[in-house]
Amino acid sequence: MSLKFFKPLFDSFSCSWQESNIGQKGVFYSYVLGIVALLWFLWFFINKSKKGQPPLPPGPKALPLIGNLHSLDPELHTYFASLSQTYGPICRLWLGKKLGIIITSPALAREVLKDQDTIFANRDVPAAGREATYGGTDIVWTPYGPKWRMLRKVCVREMLSGSTLDSVYALRRRELRQTINYFYSQAGLPVNIGEQMFLTVLNVITSMLWGGTVKGEERASLGAEFRHVVTKMTELLGTPNLSDFYPGLARFDLQGVTKKMKVLAKRFDKIFESMIDKRQEIDRNGGMETGVGQENKDFLQVLLKLKDDEAAKMPLTMPELKALLMDMVVGGTETSANTVEFAMTEILNKPDVLRKLQQEVDTIVGKDNIVEESHIQQLPYFYAVMKEVFRLHPALPLLVPHCPSETSTVGGYTVPKGSSVFVNVWAIQRDPSIWENPTEFHPERFMEKEWDFSGNDLTYFPFGSGRRICVG
């Protein structure tokens, strides 16, 4: 590097200084030369150590400063699928200052979600996500480690275990029957499946959360408010946000995403506070009004007990408690409701599938009976239809992005620490080299081969795979 580069810098020093002290000038140049030499050595060694590393994955040409933001399509999963057609099963994209890595093959998904799971079981928390979840203290955004393990364990053991779910079967049954009754009463009229399913799932989840704490009209109006807030929150979480692409700009919140999320989160917080107050009051009065099942505590009761447990190795804080409630309400409702809506759409478009389903239900359940959950194992075609819906329409087509806690190698390329890793399960589940007629809704394929939701087979994993697999 030429010293001429520094000339303007030297010129800016006062002339009198230069003229008056020739000796000091010599010392000054020696310092500058020393610093330049040091910088050069540093640069040389950093590059040398990088030379041993594989290159970054291939990807489209990036512009200075903005990277590939100019060509980003908001429908990310289809856009990423088209990139993988050009650049292969692992490619990269510069999202401002953030590096995005896109994975689009079962083999590479296995490397990320199974072989190097402990490294990739982390998250890069988006500004909107942080705001929505009390600073990212929920299961979804907590980094892999003891805290995350504790939160997940509480959730799985106390709310989603087989025995708890069995104990609240009556509650699911009641909610579903109410919904079916409603559809029946609307025969011949248009109905909004998505909306009805959202309310059904929401009622099931919130009843499990705080049981009989709210009833009647209050419950119905709470449902409407939840739907509105959850929909807005999901929209904000999906909005490409400059604060995430340029973390240095996050405090300016240029698009106002954080501000909007704050308003929504406040509305949820009010509901949570009111439920907690009511629950504590019922408990203070010695009430056993749980609504979940006679012997069962509702989830909120269990959480409040854990929060007050001073002997706990890792106590639960109030923000973590509320963040867990948020995960259940936001994570469980839209995903389930959208899946049912897709199922109904596909079935209505395929009269032969509808006919086969009706025949199976008539034979196994009988025309005069109502389907129970226990029937599902005896309804293989029904189960295959469900699996086919999850194949074509995974609720989270890119999972929740993973983030490596250290620089690693995937598919022979470097994936730097802190990059956002998008596993395109939507594209993998439509890959023509794996699936025959991949875009066709054809449940029979699941009658011929066993696929499950366990995440062990990286050709079919609508709930993710590895440590971060869906908790619900």
Closest CA to 327 of 421, 420, 233: 233
Minimum CB separation from ligand HEM for residue 422, in Å? 10
Minimum CB separation from ligand HEM for residue 256, in Å? 27
Minimum CB separation from ligand HEM for residue 453, in Å? 9
255, amino acid identity: Q
CA–CA distance, 151 with 117 (Å, rounded to integer): 19
Which residue, 68 or 207, has its beta carbon nearer to ligand HEM?
207
CA–CA distance, 280 with 300 (Å, rounded to integer): 10
Which residue, 282 or 292, has its beta carbon nearer to ligand HEM?
292
Which residue, 57 or 332, has its beta carbon nearer to ligand HEM?
332
Which residue, 308 or 373, has its beta carbon nearer to ligand HEM?
373
Q: What share of the chain is helix, strand, coil (3-state, %, to 5)?
A: 60, 5, 35
Tally the C-alpha atoms within 13 A of residue 353's C-alpha that lie toward its C-beta: 21
Minimum CB separation from ligand HEM for residue 83, in Å? 20
Minimum CB separation from ligand HEM for residue 462, in Å? 5
Q: Is 470 annotated as a binding residue?
A: yes
Minimum CB separation from ligand HEM for residue 471, in Å? 4
Minimum CB separation from ligand HEM for residue 107, in Å? 17
Contact (CB, 8 A) for 262 and 131? yes
Which residue, 68 or 137, has its beta carbon nearer to ligand HEM?
137
Enumerate helices (H) and strands (E) in the chain, giving the number of each. 20, 5
Q: How is residue 312 written in tokens?
A: 């706990």
Closest chain position to ligand HEM (CB): 472
* Residue 113, C-beta contacts closer than 8 angstroms, at least 6 positions apart: 120, 402, 423, 455, 458, 461, 464, 465, 466, 468
Which residue, 93 or 125, has its beta carbon nearer to ligand HEM?
125
Minimum CB separation from ligand HEM for residue 402, in Å? 6
Minimum CB separation from ligand HEM for residue 66, in Å? 27
Q: Where are the beta strands (DSSP E) in 58-150?
A: 90-95, 98-103
CA–CA distance, 392 with 348 (Å, rounded to integer): 15
Contact (CB, 8 A) for 198 and 334? yes
* Residue 291, C-beta contacts closer than 8 angstroms, at least 6 positions apart: 171, 207, 211, 212, 213, 298
Which residue, 282 or 329, has its beta carbon nearer to ligand HEM?
329
Minimum CB separation from ligand HEM for residue 328, in Å? 5
Which residue, 161 or 181, has its beta carbon nearer to ligand HEM?
161
Could you tell me the sign of the dihedral formed by the alpha carbons of 66, 68, 73, 78, in that order?
negative
* Residue 137, C-beta contacts closer than 8 angstroms, at least 6 positions apart: 317, 319, 320, 323
Binding footprint of ligand HEM on the chain (CB under 6 A)? 139-140, 152, 205, 327-328, 331-332, 335-336, 339, 395-396, 399-400, 462-464, 468-472
Contact (CB, 8 A) for 322 and 272? yes
Which residue, 207 or 339, has its beta carbon nearer to ligand HEM?
339
Q: How far is CA 457 from CA 107, 113, 275, 419, in A?
A: 10, 11, 41, 25
Which residue, 60 or 291, has its beta carbon nearer to ligand HEM?
291
Pairing of strands 408-410, 413-415: antiparallel
The edge-to-edge listing of strands for the beta sheet with 420-423 is 90-95, 98-103, 420-423
Tokens 């704050």 belong to: 262
List, as residue ranges, the binding site for heme: 470
List, as residue ranges, the binding site: 470
